[in-house]
């Protein structure tokens, strides 16, 4: 925000929004209006919709200084979700931090619970806990085991479970995929959004992702499917007969992912779920009735 020469300029909510939207547009921010609204609402301590009832309200120096800092950091590439510390997912608000991947709308396709009274669900690589918590909120009888190799991520996930009142039905384990999931009863659903970006492609990602989101949650090895291969290799042994495996993939990985699922003993590929843009986004497989040999 420019400093007015001479008499101090009076900055209103509406004035700040207009100036910031234009500034973000000039700097190439992808969603200039939306980002300006979210950041200003955060500083004002209100919902985004309510800033329009406060258009003529003057914003004092302290709040304007906080807003100026957020604007600067956004232009430097920091994602809005990290700046405000939260992200919406499945109509719920989730705490996020630089230690967890920011939830995306496409991942909501993993929040599927079959019509069972007490389904057991395993969320592999839970991150912020968005999948585990959303499943527990959607199905009052569901019990969930949520695992992640990152202790920092699990701290965030636990807080999200507590915030939404489902912590008593989610067990959080520090685990590299299935390593700590021992002696558990079979699961009716295994859901995962694993790292699936090829390692040498991370450098060309948008800087908001490349420079700020955890590489551990992005890097899927040389071909992007290294974690996927480990995930499907252990799935049949942990699924109940007829249980489902759902795995998020990159939009161009479906043919190879389905081929690998078809070659995995005990699993039969199911339908692929497409995202809002029509891209393949979640591959599925079902545990055959007979146990794998």
pLDDT at residue 210 in the model: 93
* Lookup: tokens for 187: 């699961």
Q: What mean pLDDT is reported for the chain? A: 93
- Give the residue from 197, 234, 193, 228 showing the smallest Cα distance to 215: 197
Cβ atoms 126, 111 nearer than 8 A: no
What 3-state class would DSSP assign to 19?
helix
* Tens digit of each residue's pLDDT (9 = 90 or more) over 60-100: 999 999 999 999 999 999 999 999 999 999 999 999 999 99
Residue 1 in this model has a pLDDT that exceeds 90: no
Q: Which residues lie closer than 8 Å to 288 by C-beta, 6 or more apart?
A: 236, 241, 266, 267, 268
Cβ atoms 11, 61 nearer than 8 A: no
State how far the alpha carbon of 27 is from the alpha carbons of 30, 32, 36, 206, in Å. 9, 9, 13, 14
pLDDT at residue 116 in the model: 85
Cβ atoms 118, 288 nearer than 8 A: no
The pLDDT > 90 percentage for the chain reads 88
Positive or negative: CA dihedral 232, 236, 240, 242: positive
What 3-state class would DSSP assign to 106?
helix
Q: Which helix (H) or strand (E) holds 86?
A: strand 86-89
| β-bridge partners, 101 | none
pTM of the model: 0.91
* Tens digit of each residue's pLDDT (9 = 90 or more) over 7-41: 567 899 999 999 999 999 999 999 999 999 999 99
Report, as an integer, the average pLDDT of 230-239: 97
pLDDT at residue 140 in the model: 94
Residue 292 in this model has a pLDDT that exceeds 60: no
């Amino acid at each position: 925000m420019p400093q007015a020469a001479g008499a101090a300029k009076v900055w209103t909510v509406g004035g700040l929004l207009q100036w910031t939207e234009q500034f973000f547009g000039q700097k190439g921010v992808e969603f200039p209006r939306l980002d300006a609204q979210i950041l200003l609402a955060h500083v004002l301590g209100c919902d985004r919709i309510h800033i329009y009832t406060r258009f003529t309200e003057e914003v004092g120096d302290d709040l304007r200084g906080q807003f100026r800092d957020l604007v600067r950091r956004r232009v430097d590439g920091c994602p809005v979700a990290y700046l405000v510390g939260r992200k919406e997912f499945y109509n719920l608000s989730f705490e996020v931090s630089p230690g967890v991947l920011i939830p995306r709308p496409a991942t909501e396709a993993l929040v599927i619970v079959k019509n069972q009274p007490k389904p057991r669900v395993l969320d592999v690589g839970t991150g912020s806990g968005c999948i585990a918590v959303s499943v527990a909120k959607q199905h009052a009888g569901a019990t969930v085991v949520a695992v992640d190799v990152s202790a920092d991520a699990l701290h965030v996930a636990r807080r999200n479970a507590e915030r939404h009142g489902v912590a008593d039905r989610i067990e959080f384990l520090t685990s590299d995929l299935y390593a700590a999931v021992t002696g558990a009863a079979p699961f009716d659903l295994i859901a995962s959004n694993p790292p699936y970006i090829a390692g040498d492609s991370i450098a060309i990602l948008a800087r908001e992702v490349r420079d700020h989101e955890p590489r551990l949650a992005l890097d899927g090895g040389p071909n992007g499917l290294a974690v996927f291969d480990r995930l499907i290799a252990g799935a049949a042994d942990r699924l109940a007969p007829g249980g489902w495996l759902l795995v998020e993939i990159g939009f161009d990985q479906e043919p190879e992912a389905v081929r690998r699922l078809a070659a995995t003993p005990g699993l039969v590929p199911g339908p692929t779920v497409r995202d809002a843009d029509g891209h393949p986004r979640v591959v599925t497989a079902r545990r055959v009735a007979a146990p794998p040999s």
